[in-house]
């Protein structure tokens, strides 16, 4: 069975200062449909937004974000668990930092758990451990973490569900003539070093961290698909019917 990693960004999951129940429900229905065909691992942001639903603390400093994240993470898992239960699925939480992948021993331990959870038909939900690692809350929104998860846990594909529906020829919020690049086989170094703006106050990475994630996987022979997290029909059609009707596929070097 093919293994896939689905990454969902904060903006997709957030509604003002809370979590969007309807988007989580749509996502969980999608994940449940996917799990009959694939081994599915979810990388989910959104803990800080979930925390803000509980505590009125501004996300103005790193430590405030860490406080909101540690408060919100169990709440986020509760929302996921309740929604997945409607589809007869259970979820498990795994918190990792990018640095964990520098240690072969830690990576091996984590992979054993992932393999065991998948064997038991449980959905692993991974997030950055924000109390010990802060790189993704400062810059990245789990984009780079999800590429490490896909690579080190032997996934065939990473799917990033974003507030943007693909990789455009230029920033579509600034250039109305920009068009989606449907297939990307090479990313230019200059695109990886651009200082891009995030599309929302909830996101942190912008397009650059998505390109860094894609580039890392492509260099390692793996594919990445970028599509909208608001309308899941493109990702659904791509994964369940092998039909690309939108989004961007980044093709790994084979
Ligand atoms: P998410 O919250 O889903 O992780 P972000 O908001 O961090 O996503 O990043 C996506 C944003 O990057 C888009 O909304 C868009 O404004 C911006 N962007 C800049 N350049 C591009 C480009 N070439 N193609 C697509 N999006 C781009």
Residue closest via CA to ligand 1's atom 14 equals: 199
Q: Give a three-class secondary structure readout of the chain.
A: CCEEEEEECHHHHEECCEECHHHHHHHHHHHHHHCCCCEEEEEECCHHHHHHHHCCCCCCCHHHHHHHHHHHHHHHHHHHHHHHHCCCCEEEEEEECHHHHHCHHHHHHHHHHHHHHHHCCEEEEEEECCCCCCHHHHCCCCHHHHHHHHHHCCCCEEEEEECCCCCECCCCCCCCCCCECCEECCCCHHHHCCCCCCCCCCCCCHHHHHHHHHHHHHHCCCEEEEEECCCCHHHHHHHHHCCCCCCEEECCCC
Residues 82, 90: Cα–Cα separation, whole Å: 9
> Which residue of 20, 141, 207 sits with most ligand 1 atoms within 8 Å of its CB, as the best mutation to test the pocket?
207
- Cα 22 to ligand 1 centre (Å): 22
> Which residue of 161, 191, 199 sits with most ligand 1 atoms within 8 Å of its CB, as the best mutation to test the pocket?
199
Residues 220, 88: Cα–Cα separation, whole Å: 35
> Which residue of 171, 174, 176, 184 sits with most ligand 1 atoms within 8 Å of its CB, as the best mutation to test the pocket?
171
> Which residue of 180, 198, 213 sits with most ligand 1 atoms within 8 Å of its CB, as the best mutation to test the pocket?
198
Which long-range CB contacts under 8 A does 244-247 form with residues at least 24 apart? 244/182, 246/165, 246/166, 246/180, 246/182, 247/165, 247/166, 247/180, 247/182
Count of Cβ atoms closer than 10 Å to residue 25 Cβ: 16
Pocket of ligand 1, beta carbon within 6 A: 9-12, 141, 162-164, 167-168, 170-173, 196, 198-200, 203, 205-207
Question: Nearest-CA neighbor of 40 among 84, 106, 95?
Answer: 84
- Cα 198 to ligand 1 centre (Å): 6
- Cα 202 to ligand 1 centre (Å): 12
Q: What is the pLDDT of residue 17?
A: 79
Considering Cα of 229, then 37, then 248, then 193, what sign does the dihedral take?
Answer: positive
Q: What is the pLDDT of residue 177?
A: 97
User: By the 8 A CB rule, do 9 and 45 touch?
Assistant: yes
Residue closest via CA to ligand 1's atom 19 equals: 171
Residues 209, 30: Cα–Cα separation, whole Å: 25
In this predicted model, what pLDDT tens digit does every residue of 179-223 receive, in sequence order?
A: 999 999 999 998 888 766 555 555 456 899 999 999 999 999 999
Mean pLDDT of the chain: 93
Nearest-atom index, ligand 1, CA of 168: 24
In this predicted model, what pLDDT tens digit does every residue of 112-167 receive, in sequence order?
A: 999 999 999 999 999 999 988 888 888 778 999 999 999 999 999 999 999 999 99
Nearest-atom index, ligand 1, CA of 163: 3
User: By the 8 A CB rule, do 80 and 94 touch?
Assistant: no
Predicted TM-score of the model (pTM): 0.95
Q: What is the pLDDT of residue 210?
A: 95
């Amino acid at each position: 069975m093919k293994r896939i990693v689905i990454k969902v960004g904060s903006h997709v999951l957030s509604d003002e200062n809370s979590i969007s129940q309807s988007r989580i429900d749509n996502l969980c229905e999608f994940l449940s449909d996917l799990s009959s065909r694939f081994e599915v691992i979810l990388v989910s942001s959104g803990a800080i937004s979930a925390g803000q639903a509980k505590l009125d603390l501004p996300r103005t400093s790193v430590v405030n974000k860490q406080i909101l994240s540690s408060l919100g993470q169990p709440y986020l898992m509760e929302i996921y668990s309740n929604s997945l239960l409607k589809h007869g699925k259970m979820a498990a939480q795994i918190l990792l930092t990018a640095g964990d992948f520098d240690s072969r021993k830690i990576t091996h331990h984590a992979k054993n758990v992932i393999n065991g959870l998948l064997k038991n038909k449980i959905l692993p939900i991974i997030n950055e451990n924000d109390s010990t690692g802060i790189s993704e809350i400062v810059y990245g929104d789990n984009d780079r973490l999800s590429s490490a998860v896909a690579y080190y846990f032997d996934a065939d594909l990473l799917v990033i569900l974003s507030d943007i529906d693909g990789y455009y020829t230029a920033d579509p919020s600034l250039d109305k003539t920009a068009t989606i690049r449907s297939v990307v086989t090479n990313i230019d170094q200059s695109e990886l070093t651009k200082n891009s703006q995030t599309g929302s106050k909830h996101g942190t990475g912008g397009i650059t961290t998505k390109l860094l994630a894609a580039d890392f996987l492509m260099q390692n022979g793996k594919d990445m698909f970028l599509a909208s997290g608001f309308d899941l029909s493109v990702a659904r059609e791509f994964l369940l019917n092998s039909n690309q009707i939108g989004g961007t596929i980044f093709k790994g070097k084979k």
